[in-house]
Structure 1
């Protein structure tokens, strides 16, 4: 993590010091604990449950109103999966569009209003920028859009947390945010 004052990359050894300060500018630093993969995964599951109970029925109702043609009429098993995989992207986006939009709204407003989703709140986490402040509107929008894209891309965005040394997902890296444990 860089120093919030001078942008110098800080060594990890500073976290074990009793009163850490930046070796470059001498500014006093606050040690934070980033939220790990399993804690964030559990928060994501809690948020998914909230979304299934709220956005799911709304999206289902919108889908019923649109009354689209079946994606793979008469196909079963692997044939159905292959038929859906060969479907035009615009048809698939029309199917998942309402739910995806509601999910994006949920995450965007959670980050803007509280710097945490309800699942993160229950597990004592919050989102900060590199200065330790809640992310601004632009960072929240970029984070949300990248989070949706990374999740739709075979969940590769959130899975990156397991491999990153700072436990940041792709959307955290792009938006310049960190998910830290609350004090």
Structure 2
């Protein structure tokens, strides 16, 4: 078994790429966090819609507004955490991080590309973009290749 690593620009530190199963567990942890966040915030929105009387549940407006809000909330979770520090809560727990190919922080632009368009494309092709992580030499999924990123162990 060979060690797959990424040399940072200063050459001082070599980091090992995070593999498929480690990333799956981090993703599952993030899914739980996002689900709870969406459940709580969606519940508050539904309750406030009924209290304010401005949203009519009979025509589906409350459901549509709640769906839109919780979808944006989920995307914001991934983009904000990945853009600000390269780690979602799941990645923090497993000590892995998303970085640019040159070893720098991904930033909000790269995180937005990776977490929205990149992951959409990875998923729409029957999840093959995600499965690429298991077989790629640098452990990159299609979304990583699109954004020019790696996921490394800390």
TM-score calculated relative to the size of structure 1: 0.62
Counterpart residue number, 1:50: 33
More moved, 55-64 vs 118-127: 55-64
Selected match of 1:113 from 70, 84, 94: 84
1:30 is displaced (CA, Å) by 4.0
Counterpart residue number, 1:83: none
Deviations 1:26-79 (A, max 9, x none): x84742200000000000000011111112332355467463768xxxxxxxxx
Conservation of the 8 A alpha-carbon contact between 1:168 and 1:178: yes
Counterpart residue number, 2:147: 175
More moved, 110-119 vs 155-164: 155-164
- Give the direction of change, closer, same or farther, for the CA distance of 1:100–1:169 in structure 2 (3 Å limit): farther
CA distance in 2, matches of 1:150, 1:96: 21
**Local SS of the residue matching 2:150:** strand
Structure 2 gap segments, 5+ residues each: 50-54
Structure 1 gap segments, 5+ residues each: 1-11, 21-26, 71-92
TM-score calculated relative to the size of structure 2: 0.73
**Local SS of the residue matching 1:128:** strand
Counterpart residue number, 1:122: 93
Conservation of the 8 A alpha-carbon contact between 1:147 and 1:170: yes
Q: Which has the larger radius of gyration?
A: 1
1:162 is displaced (CA, Å) by 2.0
Deviations 1:121-165 (A, max 9, x none): 110111111111111232111112125414652544323312322
Counterpart residue number, 1:158: 130
Which has more helix, going by share of residues?
A: 2
Aligned-residue CA RMSD in angstroms? 3.3
